[in-house]
């Protein structure tokens, strides 16, 4: 089901926006619809990412609570990460 969105802008803003939309071969309604759909898609992505992040955090806490967590010293983590980045760099050169 479609819904209608209404908002107010001054006449000059509307006139200029219509001219720009027309210069791109579309209507002001088309441009507003595309903007609204784009904003909705960004929100969907944000919500999906937040859900994924919550799952990852909960999984990490579950591991910790069940004594399955694996802790790595900071210096060791830096060394492992540097080795991993170097492997990626070398793969990109191949």
pLDDT tens column, 64-74: 999 999 999 99
Asked, for residue 19, whether it belongs to a domain, the answer is no
Tokens of 1: 């089901």
Domain count within the chain: 1
Asked, for residue 52, whether it belongs to a domain, the answer is yes
Asked, for residue 53, whether it belongs to a domain, the answer is yes
Determine the 3-state secondary structure of 50 from DSSP.
Answer: helix
pTM over 0.85? The answer is: no
CA 59 remoteness from chain centre: 22
Dist. CA 86–CA 19, nearest whole Å: 52
Note the pLDDT tens digit of each residue in 26-84: 999 999 999 999 999 999 999 999 999 999 999 999 999 999 999 999 999 999 999 99
> Which residue range forms the structural domain that includes residue 76?
29-93
Q: How confident is the model at residue 92 (pLDDT cuts 50, 70, 90)?
A: confident
């Amino acid at each position: 089901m479609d819904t209608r969105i209404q908002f107010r802008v001054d006449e000059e803003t509307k006139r200029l926006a219509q001219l720009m939309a027309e210069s791109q071969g579309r209507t002001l309604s088309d441009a507003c619809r595309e903007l609204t759909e784009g904003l909705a898609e960004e929100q969907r992505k944000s919500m999906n990412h937040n859900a994924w992040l919550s799952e990852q955090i909960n999984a990490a806490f579950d591991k910790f609570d069940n004594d399955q967590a694996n802790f790595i010293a900071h210096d060791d983590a830096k060394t492992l990460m540097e080795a991993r980045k170097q492997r990626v760099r070398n793969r990109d050169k191949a």
